[in-house]
Chains A and B, each alone.
Chain A
Amino acid sequence: MLDPATGGAGMYWSWNSGYIFFKMEGYSPVASPGKNNDHKYRYHIGLFGGMNTPTVNNVKTITLPLDKLKISEKKPAAAHIQTDILKMFSGVNDISIAKNTTVMVTPFSATIADNFTGMFTLKGIDQ
């Protein structure tokens, strides 16, 4: 389990129980100026579907062809998985920083989460 104290630090919503799956923040001239007038954009994507009350479910299952990966006692194996961050903005759906400068727990988070599925590719196997 990902510990909110260490690996999960900053990736956990304490006030709305659940992990943040994806977090991206930065500055862009097209982002709305915001309170601090610093044009900062923030994407915190979480929500697992809820326990007692249903919420948006942004959990995605991604299957990569790892069937060729053979792990033996003698030789350690490694899979190289590449993440294309740009897919966040242009995967299944086009996302605009100008239009959606801050996305956290609104239903629009699902539009961004849909883009995660195409983000990961298996680049190679060392064995």
Chain B
Amino acid sequence: MKRKGRSITRPAVIILFVLAVTILTAFTRLSTIFKQPANFPAPLYSFRDNAVSEDGFLLGRRLFYDPILSADQSISCGSCHIQAAAFTHHGHDLSHGINDLLGNRNTPAIQNMAWYSSFMWDGGILDLDLQPIAPITNPVEMGDTLLAVLKKLNAHPEYPALFKKAFGSDSITTALLMKALSQFMVMLVSADSKYDKVMRKEGMEFNPEEQKGYDVFKNKCGSCHKEPLFTDFSFRNNGLSPADEPDEGRSLVTVESKDQFRFKVPSLRNLGFTFPYMHDGRFYTLDEVLDHYSSGMHESSTLDPLFRLSDNKNGIILSAAEKESIKIFLATLDDSSFIRNPYFSEENAMKYVK
């Protein structure tokens, strides 16, 4: 072995080193290119209008974690969208913004956004590039105005240069701010759970319990929580009893009585990290969620027809064993590489200056 090592001449070692560095650099660069997972459909986001670049992604990441976007510089996007919780507000039923003001809904996960055609629990926002305006200007979230945010960014010692690098202009506008944030958000792709590796046949298989759970899931849950994104992106009333001050959900946007109490079907990816559940975070465990579906539904005129059973009953017929099976399968949707990816982390975001 030693002899073999010695036989490598010095120039060859240098060449190898250069090659390794080049490959490593190329690999780092490559990771900013949006990739469609083999088991996913084509994304909907318009990359033609906003191609992801490394500089754009790094800028978006820094903005996402910078509380400069809020009125009193206390709340960043990342305050309520925490990576360790798959970009939800870990453990919070409702989220709190500036001055401890409380919002009225549970923070949705930011994952696989490139496949969504509407955003928010009620689907009121129609383009990812328009999404951040809502939390920035909502008085109980970041409570600022776009004009004030742009002033702060344009007067900042570093941001104008970072925008210049990413977009060729150091004049920071609403459109460029939105594009930078989108470049970070579309890269938050979660597609490396056990489920994905099984589906892509990457040398992994479900164990018998998981396979059983998968079969029950497909039969009882899969029509709304459609694979591979585990949502069909529709809005449905899943029989939650209205709160004292009822949140009417989708009908606030469409002003149609048929949409009352309808909310977007959420993805089930990374459920293990995103409790509590439902639009108002009322359930802290999956057991509560499954019990709701089997025996806790509230009757109302807009209750989704899929939940209507014979004999005026409603819900999903689930045995205790089936519930356990479903939970075992759902755990295969947890993607720990997503929540630990250093490329998405707050720690690395704040290191990025130029």
What residues of chain B lie closer than 8 Å to A9, measured between beta carbons? 145-147
Contact of B127 among A1, A12, A17, A105 (CB under 8 A): A17
Query: A1, A4, A16: which has the most chain B beta carbons within 10 Å?
Result: A16
Q: When the two chains form their complex, are residues A55 and B254 in contact, meaning their CB atoms are under 8 A apart?
A: yes
What residues of chain A lie closer than 8 Å to B255, measured between beta carbons? 55-56, 105-107
Contact of B126 among A6, A12, A52 (CB under 8 A): A52
Q: Which of B60-68, B129-137, B159-167 interfaces with chain A?
A: B129-137
What residues of chain A lie closer than 8 Å to B137, measured between beta carbons? 14
List A44-91 residues whose CB lies under 8 Å from chain B. 51-53, 55-56
Q: When the two chains form their complex, are residues B133 and A12 in contact, meaning their CB atoms are under 8 A apart?
A: yes
Q: When the two chains form their complex, are residues A14 and B133 in contact, meaning their CB atoms are under 8 A apart?
A: yes
What residues of chain A lie closer than 8 Å to B175, measured between beta carbons? 1, 3
Contact of A5 among B118, B123, B138, B145 (CB under 8 A): B145
Q: When the two chains form their complex, are residues A51 and B126 in contact, meaning their CB atoms are under 8 A apart?
A: yes
What residues of chain A lie closer than 8 Å to B126, measured between beta carbons? 17, 51-52
List A82-118 residues whose CB lies under 8 Å from chain B. 105-107
B84 adjacent to chain A (CB < 8 Å): no
B150 adjacent to chain A (CB < 8 Å): yes
Interface size in chain A (residues, C-beta < 8 A): 20
Contact A17 B130, CB 8 Å, known A3-B174, A5-B146, A9-B145: yes
Query: A4, A6, A9: which has the most chain B beta carbons within 10 Å?
Result: A4
B289 adjacent to chain A (CB < 8 Å): no
Q: When the two chains form their complex, are residues A15 and B147 in contact, meaning their CB atoms are under 8 A apart?
A: no
What residues of chain B lie closer than 8 Å to A55, measured between beta carbons? 254-255
B258 to chain A, nearest CB (A): 11
Q: When the two chains form their complex, are residues A15 and B124 in contact, meaning their CB atoms are under 8 A apart?
A: yes
B22 adjacent to chain A (CB < 8 Å): no
What residues of chain B lie closer than 8 Å to A6, measured between beta carbons? 147
Rounded to whole angstroms, the CA-CA distance of A15 and B173 in the bound complex is 20
Contact A15 B146, CB 8 Å, known A3-B174, A4-B174, A52-B118: no
* For the complex of A and B, 5 pairs with smallest distance between CB atoms: A5-B146, A14-B134, A16-B124, A14-B133, A17-B126
Q: List 24 A-B contacts (CB under 8 A).
A: A3-B146, A4-B133, A4-B174, A5-B145, A5-B146, A5-B147, A9-B145, A9-B146, A9-B147, A13-B124, A14-B125, A14-B130, A14-B134, A14-B136, A14-B137, A15-B120, A15-B134, A15-B138, A16-B124, A16-B252, A16-B253, A17-B126, A17-B130, A106-B255
Q: Besides the contacts A3-B175, A15-B253, A16-B253, what 14 more A-B pairs have beta carbons closer than 8 Å?
A: A3-B173, A4-B133, A5-B173, A13-B124, A14-B134, A15-B138, A16-B124, A16-B125, A16-B252, A17-B124, A17-B127, A55-B255, A105-B255, A107-B255
